[in-house]
Amino acid sequence: MTEVKLFAGSNSLPLAEKIAKHYGKKLGDLTLSKFSDGEMSPSFNESVRGCTVFLIQSTNPSADNLLELCLMIDAAKRASAYKVCAVIPYYGYARQDRKDRPRVSIAAKLVANILTSAGADRIMTCDLHAGQIQGFFDIPLDHLNASAIFVPYLERLNRDNLIFAAPDVGGVARARAYAKHFAVEMVVCDKHRKRANEVASMQVIGDVEGKDVVLIDDLVDTAGTLCRAAQIILEKGALSVRAIATHGVLSGKAYENINNSVLEELVITDTIPLVQESSKIRVLSVADLFAKAIHAVTGNSSISALFI
């Protein structure tokens, strides 16, 4: 057994502190220096020689967050850490997981290559945009599922007429998993986009009349799709609409869209720091989930018990 040390990147410091508390250990001492031009230089202020090091950092844009994590990995490897695990609550660039049109990058694969080249021995993340991204890595990857947090929350709502909805065809499998667990029906919102973050048309496939609908997604960016889906679902006779999304990217007019929408609430996790408060946004923490996963990895035990 090697000593376990946890360190936080600047983007995920609040979440890392919660993870460390649940794990039962203080965060390690790390300094991130910057030159006047913005060039970053992370350094460990304590020995990591022979240690199993967990570096906690979400890689949401800007690209500085990804580069900072890579520099931390490189610094740990050069300081003779035994193993380096990159804990990435939100894996950025995951939406670019295939060539959906000519002459584009498969950014999710490129980021996997970058992290591996930087020296990561293991990756731990949560709710990738597409499950097949796990196959982009040639090193072990622990893919956690936020349903372990959302399902107990939904159960506490105690709604008898619950139904689940996928905001697009790509989210059908995710919504079906929730519907199967609660033994209820699901519907699908079929959308057509003109371009990224802009929905041209949408229709609901399935019956939502008299139901409390829960939209399920892995992330919410501008919230345009969720808000449009919620409006159409309510017009189809639903009693209420709430949304659940693991990663609150919340860019552009997201907060304005959510506050002006018919959504009863948007439930997200703290994989990405919340920029501003909203009465319609509820944040649940993934800290305990990641702490348990780290315990399982360091104790060479299965993480399957963390899945619902």
pLDDT in tens, 84-94: 999 999 999 99
Q: What is the mean pLDDT of the chain?
A: 94
Residues 250, 212 share a domain: yes
Among 91, 119, 90, 87, which residue's Cα sits nearest to residue 22?
A: 87
Residues 124, 224 share a domain: no
CATH number at residue 295: 3.40.50.2020
> What is the average pLDDT across 75-87?
98
Among 167, 77, 89, which residue's Cα sits nearest to residue 121?
A: 77
pLDDT category of residue 181 using cuts at 50, 70 and 90: very high
Residues 273, 181 share a domain: yes
pLDDT at res. 196: 59
Residues 109, 92 share a domain: yes
pLDDT at res. 307: 87
> What is the average pLDDT across 135-143?
97
197, pLDDT greater than 80: no
Residues 40, 66 share a domain: yes
pLDDT at res. 168: 85
Q: How is the beta sheet containing 4-8 ordered, strand by strand?
A: 4-8, 52-56, 83-88, 122-126, 141-144
Residues 97, 139 share a domain: yes
What number of other Cβ atoms are within 10 A of residue 256's Cβ? 13
Residues 70, 163 share a domain: no
pLDDT at res. 200: 54
pLDDT category of residue 231 using cuts at 50, 70 and 90: very high
> What is the average pLDDT across 225-236?
92
Residues 294, 280 share a domain: no
pLDDT category of residue 193 using cuts at 50, 70 and 90: low
SS3 per-residue string spanning 255-276: HHHHHCCCCCCEEEECCCCCCC
Beta-carbon contacts of 102 under 8 Å, excluding residues fewer than 6 positions away, are: none
Instruction: Give the total number of structural domains in the chain.
Output: 2
What residues are annotated to the active site?
191
Question: What is the residue range of 50's domain?
Answer: 4-145+288-306
Q: What's the predicted TM-score (pTM) here?
A: 0.94
Residues 80, 23 share a domain: yes
160, pLDDT greater than 90: no
Amino acid at 75: A
Residues 244, 186 share a domain: yes
79, pLDDT greater than 70: yes
Q: How far apart are alpha carbons 127 and 40 in whole angstroms? A: 29
Residues 243, 296 share a domain: no
Residues 153, 275 share a domain: yes
pLDDT at res. 194: 59
pLDDT exceeding 90 applies to what percent of the chain? 87
Cβ–Cβ < 8 Å for 107, 77: no
> What is the average pLDDT across 78-99?
97
